[in-house]
């Protein structure tokens, strides 16, 4: 571990030490606290321990491989570029990650220490030391050391590399803490928690972007990055590595300036962090602040939306469903995922020249799934629906409202995706039949989704990343897998008709499938909703109990 | 003090059937091994301010959930304004208002939107919903934050918007589960005023609480619930009996005496450490 961690020192011994001494006893206490928290967290469950150990092994393996790669890079023409940019990317990661994973480290939440008589300066020092304990800093250290080895040429450069590596590591850690402390209001507020739910998606998209850029670089060559590296080598903490390189080249003045820049950055970050902590510890936390400023503008938009929708229960259910797509973080994450995957799969397949027009059905498939577990999405707020439904007629209106809200988004989107895919793949003569299949599939999913929402509801926990409450995963499995199988079965007449048309050489008649699929989908939806409504009306208390768990 | 049996029996014998807002017969609910409600018989008179009191875990929420159609009983019948909740839910649901505890509302709607939504689910005309919503928001002091999302509301504001939703369709009987829990004194006073005005017009309020002072000052009729059974029911004065306060009568009914902390914490005093 990179930390100066005297794990044998007990907190009690330090507290009892000389208080007036310049060397504050707080640092070992905080480091010990961090280690205890880590240990106790792992003690809670074997599963967690296994996951942690596995992640340590993976991270270490990755770090060692990177280290070996960087060492091997030594002497290569692009060593400087890669080393400098790698540290810059690491620093960026440190700056961004605390925004998405705010609860990672309890020792870093200054509001937990607010009752203790601590001075800001020793506190920041102690917290900085504590935040050096962990997998993240270790991983960073490995990469920074690797970069330094790849860059350092000559004794002078090697000598400078030691403080440079330490400075770079400290700047990374201090940057993360300064950003987290400055944004703790956001992170403890409702909006911050909403943000966290979307983080998985952002990371997934980020990986795609990185993947894409890496492929581009692979074809264009690393030389493209040299101008960027020339700038980045002056920006802390990459400037620390820049200093090692400059001194290796004999540019001692540049090297000194770059090292000084890194040091100044560290001091500034620590100063900002200390200020944030002092301010945080003496002001109310996010939960007591008025989180909503922009409420006024919303009113007008709502009225406009409402005017276009039908009167009564049908319109009310549609309106609320549509509002929740945008406003509820879990629902939003599910929708954004479905919309993205529904577009990416057919389009990327088409771009790689391996695609088929039929992949366009993915869009309506992914969006149709949103009809599943409708009431789980409501959570315990379902009681409002339950107290106002007393007959199958009202249940039907409720289900119809939700299905129509879904159709309002899905049909245009699926049509658009099908058009785009066809444009990329070619073969416009197949467009009508793919559209027909899409609509048929959507109808089947809406029908089975409505029925399984009423028959197999399960709870979606509000907080965290899980989409199924503990103990209900079997139920969720039945609901989704069974529903998919039933939908596929429901679609089989359409699929059969498509196959028959092509096999019998009557491919020119493919357009028949458009009206046929649309009709079939509509009929399936209508019948499905009518079958689901009495089931929902009968099972209201059971549904409420099921979706209130967790 | 009235024990459970005689009062109900008397009322039935006196032929006061239409007077009852709620009539419960041998109501049972088990959750696995635990018996939450163990055979309740209860008749709540119409037009009263009724308090359902009991310690935590007494079965208040379970009972209210079963009365309002949110939880299916294992056994027993519940009638509200003369209609069976479980065989004739359509009629009952339009005549009652509910404010459950612990259940969320659609929190990603603003207060105003939540009221409009609830009104439309209840089948009220849009213009009427708008008028009533504006008045309720005004009386409950929520006009200033009507466009804020409910998720950003404080506890007091949540209870008030919940009450507004429960009152919107002008129900005959209003069921409130712990309506004053975690509510500041100003909001509590507002809620109180609205409820008093509501009962003055002849409607019935049934609310659960474990704060005896509150029940004593608000209610004219109480039912005491402990360990899933009714310990006493009747007008406030009868249940209180000779005891100095409802609190004292309640502790006696539930069988608790408060003198065992005397000896064990003798070091506690704020002087020396």
Same domain, A231 and A181: yes
Residue A294 domain flag? no
- Choose the closest CB to B120 out of A190, A312, A391: A312
- Choose the closest CB to B93 out of A290, A306, A387: A387
Distance of alpha carbon A97 from alpha carbon A199, whole angstroms: 10
Whole-number percent of chain B with pLDDT over 70: 90
Residue A295 domain flag? no
Task: Tell me if B247 sits within 8 A of B18, measured CB to CB.
Answer: no
Count of domains observed in chain A: 2
- Short-list B74, B52, B72, B50, CA closest to B61: B52
Task: Tell me if A318 sits within 8 A of A405, measured CB to CB.
Answer: yes
CB contact A319 to B (< 8 Å): yes
Our CA-based measurement puts residue A336 at a distance from the nearest CA of chain B, in whole angstroms, of 18
Q: What is the pLDDT of residue A157?
A: 87
Task: Say which residues have a Cβ less than 8 Å from residue B255's Cβ, sequence separation at least 6.
Answer: none
- For residue range B158-196, what is the model confidence (pLDDT) as tens digits? 999 999 999 999 999 999 999 998 888 888 899 999 999
- For residue range B124-163, what is the model confidence (pLDDT) as tens digits? 998 999 999 999 999 999 999 999 999 889 989 999 999 9
Task: Say which residues have a Cβ less than 8 Å from residue A300's Cβ, sequence separation at least 6.
Answer: none
- Contact: B120, A316; criterion CB under 8 Å: yes
- Short-list A293, A108, A288, A119, CA closest to A182: A108
Task: Tell me if A374 sits within 8 A of A320, measured CB to CB.
Answer: no
Q: What is the pLDDT of residue B206?
A: 95
Same domain, A225 and A318: no
Asked if omega into A237 is within 30° of 0 (cis), the reply is yes
DSSP assignment, residue B211?
Answer: -
Residue B99's H or E segment, with its range, is strand B96-99
- Short-list B80, B66, B68, B78, CA closest to B21: B80
Residue A28 domain flag? yes
CA dist list (Å): B39 to A505, B24, B28, B52, B74: 72, 9, 5, 16, 10
Distance of alpha carbon A536 from alpha carbon A390, whole angstroms: 10
CA dist list (Å): B254 to A330, A392, A446, A460: 44, 43, 53, 38
Our CA-based measurement puts residue A216 at a distance from the nearest CA of chain B, in whole angstroms, of 42
CA dist list (Å): B117 to A9, B80, B107, B248: 61, 25, 12, 44
- Choose the closest CB to A323 out of B105, B109, B151: B109
Report ipTM (2 d.p.).
Answer: 0.84
- Short-list B208, B206, B201, B213, CA closest to B226: B208
Same domain, A168 and A271: yes
End-to-end Cα spacing for chain A: 38
Distance of alpha carbon A133 from alpha carbon A127, whole angstroms: 10
Residue B207's H or E segment, with its range, is strand B204-209
Q: Average pLDDT for consecutive 10-residue bins of chain A (550 residues)? A: 38 39 68 81 75 83 84 78 86 79 58 74 85 84 87 86 92 87 70 68 67 66 75 86 88 90 92 84 55 42 64 90 88 85 81 77 89 90 92 94 94 94 86 92 94 90 68 76 86 87 80 91 95 94 87
The more confident residue out of B38 and A347 is B38
- DSSP codes joined into one string, A369-403: GGGTTHHHHHGGGHHHHHHH--SHHHHHHHHHHHH
- Contact: A387, B69; criterion CB under 8 Å: yes
Report the length, in residues, of chain A. Answer: 550
- Contact: A541, B98; criterion CB under 8 Å: no
Contacts of A320 in chain B (CB under 8 A): 106, 109, 117
| DSSP-based helix, strand, coil % in chain B, nearest 5 | 40, 25, 35
Strands B173-177, B96-99: parallel, antiparallel or unpaired by DSSP?
A: parallel
Assign A311 to helix, strand or coil: coil
Domain ranges of chain B: 4-256
Distance of alpha carbon B136 from alpha carbon B139, whole angstroms: 5
Same domain, A252 and A324: no
- DSSP codes joined into one string, A24-79: -THHHHHHHHHHHHHHHHHHT-HHHHHHHHHHHHHHHHHHHHHHHHHHHHTT-TTH
Task: Tell me if B224 sits within 8 A of B230, measured CB to CB.
Answer: yes
Q: What is the pLDDT of residue A283?
A: 66
Q: What is the pLDDT of residue B96?
A: 94
Residue A302 domain flag? no
Task: Say which residues have a Cβ less than 8 Å from residue B234's Cβ, sequence separation at least 6.
Answer: B1, B2, B7, B221, B222
Contacts of A197 in chain B (CB under 8 A): none
Task: Tell me if B202 sits within 8 A of B134, measured CB to CB.
Answer: no
Cβ atoms < 10 Å from Cβ of A3: 18
Query: Phi and psi for A249 in degrees, rounded to 5?
Result: -85, -5
- DSSP codes joined into one string, A463-486: SSS-SS-TT-HHHHHIIIIIHHHH
- Contact: B121, A295; criterion CB under 8 Å: no
Q: Which residues of A47-79 are buried (b: 16+ CB within 10 A; e: fewer)?
A: eeeeeeeeeeeeeeeebeebbeebeebeeeebb
Task: Say which residues have a Cβ less than 8 Å from residue A165's Cβ, sequence separation at least 6.
Answer: A141, A144, A145, A148, A240
- Short-list A131, A125, A238, A236, CA closest to A177: A131
Distance of alpha carbon A127 from alpha carbon A277, whole angstroms: 11
Our CA-based measurement puts residue B49 at a distance from the nearest CA of chain A, in whole angstroms, of 22
**Six-digit token string for A430:** 């197949």
Q: What is the pLDDT of residue B258?
A: 58
Distance of alpha carbon A133 from alpha carbon A105, whole angstroms: 10
Contacts of A383 in chain B (CB under 8 A): 70, 98, 100, 103
Residue A213 domain flag? no
Residue A430 domain flag? yes
Which fold would CATH assign to domain B4-256?
Answer: Rossmann fold (3.40.50)
- Choose the closest CB to A384 out of B69, B118, B152: B118
Residue with tokens 């988004």: A409
Contacts of A316 in chain B (CB under 8 A): 116-117, 120-121
- Short-list A543, A337, A528, A356, CA closest to A456: A543
What residues make up the domain containing A136? Answer: 11-192+220-285
What's the CA dihedral at A499, A491, A346, A210 to 10 degrees?
-140
Contacts of A386 in chain B (CB under 8 A): 69-70
- Choose the closest CB to B104 out of A290, A379, A387: A379
Q: Which residues of B78-99 are buried (b: 16+ CB within 10 A; e: fewer)?
A: bbbbebebeeebeebbebbbbb
- Choose the closest CB to A328 out of B108, B147, B148: B108
Q: What is the pLDDT of residue A187?
A: 66
Which A residues in the span 174-193 are in contact with B, Cβ-Cβ below 8 Å? 190
Residue A200 domain flag? no
Chain B residues with a Cβ under 8 Å from any Cβ in chain A = 68-72, 89-94, 96, 98, 100, 102-110, 112-113, 116-118, 120-123, 126, 145, 147-149, 151-152, 165
Residue of B nearest to A379 (CA): B104
Residue with tokens 């739910």: A197
Same domain, A316 and A278: no
Q: Using CB atoms within 10 A of its CB, is residue A39 exposed (0-12), middle (13-18) or buried (19+)?
A: exposed
Query: Mutating which of A312, A384, A389, A539 best tests the B interface, going by the most B Cβ atoms within 10 A?
Result: A384
β-bridge mates for residue B232, sequence order: B224
- CA dihedral for B209, B210, B212, B213, sign (positive or negative): negative
Residue A197 domain flag? no
Same domain, A378 and A470: yes
- Contact: B100, A383; criterion CB under 8 Å: yes
Task: Say which residues have a Cβ less than 8 Å from residue B55's Cβ, sequence separation at least 6.
Answer: B210, B226, B254
CB contact A296 to B (< 8 Å): yes
């Amino acid at each position: 571990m990179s930390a100066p961690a005297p794990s044998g020192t007990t907190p009690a011994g330090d507290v009892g030490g000389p208080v007036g001494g310049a060397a504050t006893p707080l640092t070992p206490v905080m480091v010990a606290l961090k280690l205890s928290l880590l240990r106790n967290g792992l003690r809670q469950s074997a599963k967690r321990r296994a996951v942690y150990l596995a992640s340590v092994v993976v991270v270490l393996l990755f770090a060692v491989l990177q280290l070996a790669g960087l060492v091997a890079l030594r002497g290569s023409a692009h060593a400087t570029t890669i080393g400098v940019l790698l540290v810059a990317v690491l620093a960026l990661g440190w700056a961004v990650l605390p925004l998405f994973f705010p609860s990672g480290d309890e020792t870093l939440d200054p509001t937990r220490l607010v009752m203790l008589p601590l001075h800001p300066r020793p506190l920041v020092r102690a917290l900085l030391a504590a935040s050096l304990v962990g997998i993240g800093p270790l991983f960073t250290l490995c990469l920074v050391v690797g970069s330094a080895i790849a860059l350092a040429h000559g004794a002078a450069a090697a000598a400078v590399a030691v403080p440079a590596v330490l400075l770079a590591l400290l700047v990374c850690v201090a940057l993360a803490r300064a950003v987290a402390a400055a944004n703790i209001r956001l992170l403890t507020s409702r909006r911050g928690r909403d943000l966290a739910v979307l983080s998985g998606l952002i990371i997934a998209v980020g990986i795609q972007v990185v993947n894409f850029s890496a492929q581009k670089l692979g074809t264009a060559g690393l030389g493209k990055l040299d101008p960027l590296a020339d700038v980045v080598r002056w920006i802390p903490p990459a400037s620390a590595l820049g200093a090692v390189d400059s001194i290796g080249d004999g540019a001692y003045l540049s090297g000194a300036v770059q090292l000084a820049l890194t040091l100044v950055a560290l001091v500034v970050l620590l100063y900002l962090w200390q200020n944030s902590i002092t301010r945080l510890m003496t002001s109310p936390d996010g939960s007591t602040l008025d989180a909503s400023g922009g409420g006024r503008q919303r009113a007008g938009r709502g009225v406009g939306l409402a005017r276009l929708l039908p009167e009564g229960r049908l319109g009310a259910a549609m309106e609320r469903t549509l509002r929740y797509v945008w406003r509820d973080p879990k629902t939003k994450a599910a929708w954004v995922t479905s919309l993205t995957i529904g577009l990416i799969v057919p389009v990327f397949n088409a771009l790689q020249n391996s695609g088929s027009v039929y992949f366009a059905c993915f869009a309506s498939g992914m969006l149709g799934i949103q009809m599943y577990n409708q009431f789980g999405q409501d959570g315990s707020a379902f009681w409002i629906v339950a107290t106002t439904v007393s007959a199958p007629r009202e249940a039907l209106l409720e289900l119809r409202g939700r299905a129509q809200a879904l159709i309002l988004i899905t049909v245009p989107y699926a049509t658009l995706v099908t058009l785009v895919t066809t444009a990329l793949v070619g073969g416009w003569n197949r467009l009508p039949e793919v559209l027909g299949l899409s609509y048929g599939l959507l109808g089947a999913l809406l029908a089975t989704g409505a029925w399984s929402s009423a028959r197999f509801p399960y709870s979606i926990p509000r907080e965290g990343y899980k989409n199924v409450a503990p103990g209900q995963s079997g139920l969720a499995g039945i609901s989704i897998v069974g529903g998919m199988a039933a939908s596929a079965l429901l679609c089989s007449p359409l699929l059969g008709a498509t196959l028959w048309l092509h096999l019998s050489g009557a491919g020119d008649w493919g357009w028949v499938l458009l009206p046929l699929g649309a009709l079939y989908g509509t009929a399936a939806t209508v019948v499905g909703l009518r079958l689901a409504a009495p089931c929902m009306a009968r099972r209201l208390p059971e549904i409420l109990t099921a979706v209130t768990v967790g | 003090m009235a024990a459970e049996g005689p009062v109900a029996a008397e009322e039935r014998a006196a032929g006061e059937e239409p007077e009852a807002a709620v009539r419960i017969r041998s109501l049972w609910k088990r959750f696995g091994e635990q018996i939450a409600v163990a055979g309740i018989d209860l008749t709540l008179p119409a037009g009263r301010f009724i308090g359902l009191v009991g310690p935590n875990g007494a079965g208040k929420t379970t009972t209210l959930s079963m009365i309002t159609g949110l939880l299916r009983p294992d056994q027993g019948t519940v009638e509200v304004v003369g209609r069976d909740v479980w065989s004739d839910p359509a009629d009952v649901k339009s005549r009652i208002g509910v404010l459950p505890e612990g259940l969320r509302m659609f929190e990603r709607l603003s207060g105003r939107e939540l009221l409009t939504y609830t009104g439309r689910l209840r089948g009220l005309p849009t213009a009427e919903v708008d008028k009533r919503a504006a008045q309720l928001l005004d009386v409950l002091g929520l006009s200033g934050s009507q466009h804020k999302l409910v998720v950003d509301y404080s506890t007091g504001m949540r209870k008030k918007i919940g009450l507004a939703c429960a009152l919107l369709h002008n129900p005959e009987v209003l069921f409130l589960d712990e309506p004053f829990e975690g509510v500041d004194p100003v909001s509590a006073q507002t809620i109180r005023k609205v409820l008093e005005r509501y009962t003055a017009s002849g409607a019935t309020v049934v609310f659960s609480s474990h704060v005896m002072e509150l029940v004593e000052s608000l209610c004219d009729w109480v039912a005491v619930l402990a360990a899933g059974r009714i310990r006493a029911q009747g007008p406030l004065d009868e249940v209180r009996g000779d005891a100095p306060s409802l609190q004292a009568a309640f502790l006696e009914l539930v069988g608790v005496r408060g003198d065992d902390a005397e000896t064990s914490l003798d070091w506690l005093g704020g002087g020396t450490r």
